[in-house]
Structure formats: structure tokens, C-alpha cells
Chains A and B, each alone.
Chain A
Amino acid sequence: MRRRAPSPAPRRASAAALLTPLAALLIATPAPAQPVTDAAKAATPAVTAAPAAPAPLAAPQRRSGLDDMSPALQALQREDSQNPGFLAVQDGQALWATAAGAAQKSCASCHGEPARSLAGVAARYPAWDSASGRALNLGGRVNACRLRHQQATPWAVDSSELLALTVLIGLHSRGQPIAPPDDARLAPLRAQGQAIWQQRQGQLNLACAQCHDQRAGQRLGGALIPQGHATGYPAYRLEWQALGSLQRRLRGCLVGVRAQPYAVDAPEWLALEAYLALRAAGMAVETPAVRP
């Protein structure tokens, strides 16, 4: 298996990826064990129908990916001494205290102890940054801080350093409800994210909403289709055998519907993230989550 595109090569081909696209769609059968929303039931047979405006799931119907994992995998996430995301947390703690850049400042120089200064921070992102006049996700905030205060070079989106710091920051919001800021300046971004969510894409001509709103709880091949709440990123995925960002997860979905992923620094990722945060508002932050 040789790949030319400069994207992280999957170590194992997933079962769904081995199926032809059409076959994969045809075997997407309902799973009786999983409660399906009324909206999803009504829309099930209409694969060709345009995605309806998403009926936002009421809070009790929303399910984190954690709820549908095997007990062994749930234990892996819940036990800090087993959760492999905590390997990166250790890296994050080291980076937090390491002076960097021309300013030779560390995160700790300004923010002090992470347990005090970071509580609940990750639950609010993406948020508006008045200084630069644009929205930032958590990784973008870390990089803005590096550029502005440490005078260091920003990290790449999927770099182990950025993942380590964002997972450390995310950890200090674990268990807190996702709280997207009530900020009108984020509205256009969220609207753009929602539009992308509902936009059919790729050779399979599928929108995010068709699987994750309308067919969540059913199966695609052997895999359960989750509702797609980004509650635990950066998350450790067994398929990746590594910690990965939400953008990496979304990129995988776009490749899955045979669409060309956006460029790494494209605003579409942030728009999707902002919409997903709104969609998952009130659900508990799980960082570092473990996912199959």
C-alpha cells in the first residue's frame, strides 16, 4: 500500500475502507439496540434525499461516543493509569514548564499552575480573539500565545507538541459542560459550519448530517455510526494508535466520503469545530477521550 498524498498513513485499513463505497452504503442497516431519534427514523430510507435541516437533538437523546463503546474501552478512557492519552499529558506538563522562543518564557511564566489557570478553559473554545479579530480554536490559541508572547514559531496542527499542550489544557476541563461563548461575532462562523455539515460532499455525495444526524446509531459495516459529538479531542484513537486532533478526525471523515479535504489551515475546519461545539453544548468534556 503506497500513498502519495502527504497525509498520515493509516496503520490498518478499516473494514469499511475495504468495501466498495456502494456496498458500504447498502449494508448500513439499522441496529435495533440503539435508540434512534424520530427524525432519524423518518429519514432512514431516503438515502438520496437532501439532508433536512438538522433537528437538533434534545439533551437526553444526545450520546457521546463513550456511551456506545465496549466496557473495556470505556475503562481504558476512565482509568487515568491506563488511558494512553495521559502519555501526552506528561509531555504537555513538561512543555508547560519549558521556556521557549526569543522571549524565553514558558506557559507557566504567565499562567502559573495549570490546575488553577486552565479550569474550564477548553470547554469555551472555539472563541473570539479580540487581539487578532478572528476566532481561534484551542490549538490556535496556543499558537497565538506562542507567537505573541513567547515569540516562538507556531506548531503544526497535528504536531505532537500542540496535541500534548491542548490535551493538558483539555484535561483541566474534563467533566465540565461544553460552553460555547454567547458571542455574536462567532455566529457567521457557526452558520458556515452548519452549512458545511449539511452540504453533500465527495464522490459518495454525503453530508455529515446524513450519517451523524439522520443515521446515528445505525451501522456502517461493522462500525456504529456515532452522533458525532466532538467531546473528547484531542482523543486517542485505537485506529490511529495515537492521539489526534479534531481536524484529523474530520479529515478522515472527508476522505471517507471521497471528498478532497480542506487545506490544513483552511477556515472550514474552524467553522465545523465552532458548529460542533454549539451542537454539543452542555455535554461533558472528556479529553483525553479514547475512541475505537
Chain B
Amino acid sequence: MATRTLIHVPDAPRRGEVVEIRVTLGHPMENGLRPDGYGNVVPRSLVTRFECRLDGTLVAAADLYPAIAANPYLAFWLRAERAGTLAFEWTGDHGFQHRETRPFNVA
């Protein structure tokens, strides 16, 4: 099924306020070491990089590693200085790429 995400961006924070952005990506994060029910090793499939940009400016990034659980959940803080569009992008093995955008309104 399609790649799913859960993204929480606070609605209209005041200018200067520090807000928490929370993102979850639906992804198995297979580390390439795990056997399936029949004893065959499941091929590695990892998300390796997360980036969040506000109108093209990088505001948060993370490298993800094999020990991170499935459906990686990331939260970070952002000072609401200007409104814009938040772009979330995950990249990983086998050319995995997923991008979501959310409006970031500042009151």
C-alpha cells in the first residue's frame, strides 16, 4: 500500500514561539539481519535520511540507522519566525523517497 505519514504541525503559533513538529513515517525499517517466518533473511530496506525544509531552508535533519524501529517517529523544535511551507523528505535504500508538504502559518 501507499507510503503513509503522520505529521503534526501546530496551527498558527505566535511569532517567536518555539513549537514542536512531530512526524511519523510508515516504513518497515528492515535491517537486513532479520529472518522471516520461513528462515529466509529479509533484504535490508532502511530509511537513512530525513530532512525538513521551510521554503527551501534546512531546519531539521536526521540520519537514521538500522537500530531504529519500524515506522520511525521524529520530533523536533522550530522557532516560528516566518510563515511558509514545510517540506518533509525521507530518503532510503533502493531509491526510497517520500515527500510531504504542510503549510506553516504564523500568527
Contacts and interface: CB of A to CB of B under 8 A. Distances in A.
Contacts of A84: 6, 24, 26, 71, 73
A11 B6 CA distance: 23
Interface string B5-21: 11110000000000000
B95 interface: no
B2 A94 contact: yes
A161 B2 CA distance: 12
B5 to A, nearest CB: 8
A1 B4 contact: no
Main secondary structure of the interface of B (DSSP, over half): loop
B69 A241 contact: yes
A160 B7 CA distance: 21
B37 A8 contact: yes
Q: Give chain A's interface residue range (CB within 8 Å of chain B).
A: 20 to 34
Given A91-B1, A160-B1, A164-B1, A82 B6 contact: yes
A4 B34 contact: no
Contacts of A8: 37
Contacts of B39: 2-4
Q: Give chain B's interface residue range (CB within 8 Å of chain A).
A: 20 to 34
A119 to B, nearest CB: 23
Contacts of A90: 4
B82 interface: no
Contacts of A1: 35
Nearest to A5: B37
B83 to A, nearest CB: 20
Contacts of B71: 84, 87, 241
Contacts of A9: 34-37
B35 A3 contact: yes
Contact of A87 (B4, B8, B38, B69): B4
A164 B1 CA distance: 10
Interface in A137-194: 160-161, 164
A223 interface: no
Given A87-B24, A87-B26, A241-B69, A2 B6 contact: no
Interface in B44-82: 69-71, 73
Pick from B6, B7, B37, B73 the residue with the most CB of A within 10 Å.
B6
Contact of A91 (B4, B5, B69): B4
B38 to A, nearest CB: 6
A238 interface: yes
A15 interface: no
Nearest to A89: B4
Contacts of A7: 37
Interface of A: 1-9, 11, 79, 81-84, 86-88, 90-91, 94, 160-161, 164, 238, 241-242
Listed from nearest, the 4 A-B pairs whose CB atoms lie closest are A81-B8, A241-B70, A87-B26, A87-B4
18 contacts: A3-B38, A4-B39, A9-B34, A9-B36, A81-B8, A82-B6, A82-B8, A82-B24, A84-B6, A84-B71, A84-B73, A87-B4, A91-B1, A91-B2, A94-B2, A160-B1, A161-B1, A238-B69
